[in-house]
Amino acid sequence: MSELNEAKGSCLCGAIHFTARKANKGVGACHCGMCRKWGGGALMAVNSGSDVLFKGEENISVYDSSAWAERGFCKQCGSHLFYRLKESRQHIIPVGLFENQESFVFENQVFIDKKPSFYSFSNKTNNMTEAEVFEMYGAS
């Protein structure tokens, strides 16, 4: 998938605005237990790379959720802002935070083997299991 130019967005209350300079057009869904617990369902998000600028950073709180990643949220309204890989600083940003969503395409699902049976997306996507994701990123 190609990149968008200067994809912008904000949290629910507007205390935090961001510009993702190299956001991917592809939307991914993560069905892992952590993402489902974090947001109450699959995380629908965009790989926004490491070049993300935030205004209102004093309103960002970061939770150290694993050995390799952290999750950011707004201290004011609680909006989930990003899942960020510690080493590369790659930001995965929930698609609902972006101002203009017309260019996005639902492209892939990860941890598909962890998806509960009570929901299913009808879109044709590339799917990866937990084992495939960990193999791809060298994690365990």
Residues of the domain holding 34: 7-137
**Residue 47: both structure tokens together:** 């790989």
In a domain, 1, yes or no: no
Q: Which CATH number do you get for residue 78?
A: 2.170.150.70
In a domain, 86, yes or no: yes
Q: Is 139 helix (H, G, I), strand (E, B) or coil?
A: coil
Residues 6+ apart with CB under 8 A from 29: 42, 43, 44, 45, 106, 108, 109, 110, 121, 125
Number of domains present in the structure of the chain: 1
Query: Which pLDDT belongs to residue 33?
Result: 96
In a domain, 73, yes or no: yes
Query: Which pLDDT belongs to residue 140?
Result: 55
How high is the mean pLDDT in each 10-residue block of the chain (140 residues)? 80 98 95 95 96 98 94 98 96 97 96 97 96 79
Q: Are 28 and 109 in contact, with CB atoms under 8 Å apart? A: yes
